Amino acid sequence: MSYMRFNFKSQAVGCNVDVGVVIPLENYFYYDASKGLKHHLPPDATVLPPLKPGMKFQTVYFLHGGGEDDTVPFRFTNLEWYAIKNNVMVVAPNIGNSFGADTNYGANYGTFINEELPCVIRALFPSSEKREDNYIVGYAMGGNAVLSAAIMHPENYSVCVDMSGGIGYTLCTDTLKQELNSDHFRKSFKIYNATFGEADELEGSRHDLYKVACEKKASGVLLTKFYIICGSDEFIRTRVEDDAKTLEQIGYDVEYICIDGYKHEFPLWNYALQQVFGKLLPFTRDPSSY
């Protein structure tokens, strides 16, 4: 498999960040195999197309859950295999416990994800700059982070997949206000208020995702297509379904998928990723199209 992890100084976050990158190199020959050079492939292997300078790959930006880092999706799911099988790049940044936000305490993770990271990736790696070739996917905290990213920056992503997004950004402003006011978050998870501010300051602010979604819809810009996925037995199911319903009411193209028999856990997300990469994301999988 073709996985690498690199580190660079983020100007938006203000510190060095780690990013996992998968490039489907093994789907190509690196030299002219017709010259009779020895290569380690089985006798019945299909002849591979050549790897050429200037090739660009469709790219999935992938955001991890809360309390994790960029390595966890690759260690707990078959994400790397799905990327290779479908001939696409995956970019998985470490976003800490940031909820993918430009936080009130000054670490601008929203800017990092949606502006800085694509610039760096396209400068260093063979990632397509075309909107139709870029997608954003995440689970748990990362699910809400990708939801906000695609709503706030529809120019970046043609499709967004929110899997089990049950904490952080939501289209239901009152829900986030209640959470910010709750004893649980105020006493046991202080980073929540540190990120989004006080509940009475939320409505109309940059963290008011409902307001932003309505403004983007009214502006007439090309909006992202959304898939929102949840397990039937998840404790955050109501919150996820409320986001899907509200997004649809505003007028977005959204499809809600409930997968029966799963809780808020990696077996759900690994199963869902098979469908996401195999059916939902519009991959060409054809190297001649790059």
For residue 38, being part of any structural domain is answered with no
Mean pLDDT of all residues in 105-123: 97
What is the DSSP secondary structure assignment for residue 181, as one 8-state letter?
H
At residue 284 the predicted structure's pLDDT band, cuts being 50, 70 and 90, is very high
Neighbours of 218 (CB within 10 A): 10
CATH number (domain holding residue 127): 3.40.50.1820
Query: Tell me: the pLDDT tens digits for 228-237?
Result: 999 999 999 9
Q: Is 110 exposed, middle or buried (0-12, 13-18, 19+ CB in 10 A)?
A: buried
Please report the pLDDT score of residue 285 as a whole number. Answer: 86
Query: Tell me: the pLDDT tens digits for 127-159?
Result: 999 999 999 999 999 999 999 999 999 999 999
For residue 145, being part of any structural domain is answered with yes
Amino acid type, 91: V
For residue 40, being part of any structural domain is answered with no
For residue 61, being part of any structural domain is answered with yes
Mean pLDDT of all residues in 23-31: 88
Please report the pLDDT score of residue 47 as a whole number. Answer: 74
Please report the pLDDT score of residue 102 as a whole number. Answer: 97
In this predicted structure, the answer to whether residue 224 has a pLDDT above a threshold of 80 is yes
Count: domains in the chain: 1
At residue 288 the predicted structure's pLDDT band, cuts being 50, 70 and 90, is low
Average pLDDT over the chain, rounded to whole?
94
Please report the pLDDT score of residue 30 as a whole number. Answer: 82
For residue 198, being part of any structural domain is answered with yes
Q: Which of 28, 81, 26 is nearest to 288 (CA)?
A: 28
Distance, in Å, from the CA atom of 79 to the CA atom of 4, rounded to the nearest integer, reads 13
How many CA within 13 A on the CB side of residue 156? 25
For residue 39, being part of any structural domain is answered with no
Mean pLDDT of all residues in 175-202: 94
Beta bridge partners of 135: 60, 159
Query: Tell me: the pLDDT tens digits for 33-66?
Result: 666 655 666 666 667 888 888 899 999 999 999 9
Note down the domain range covering 133.
3-30+45-289
For residue 7, being part of any structural domain is answered with yes
In this predicted structure, the answer to whether residue 76 has a pLDDT above a threshold of 90 is yes
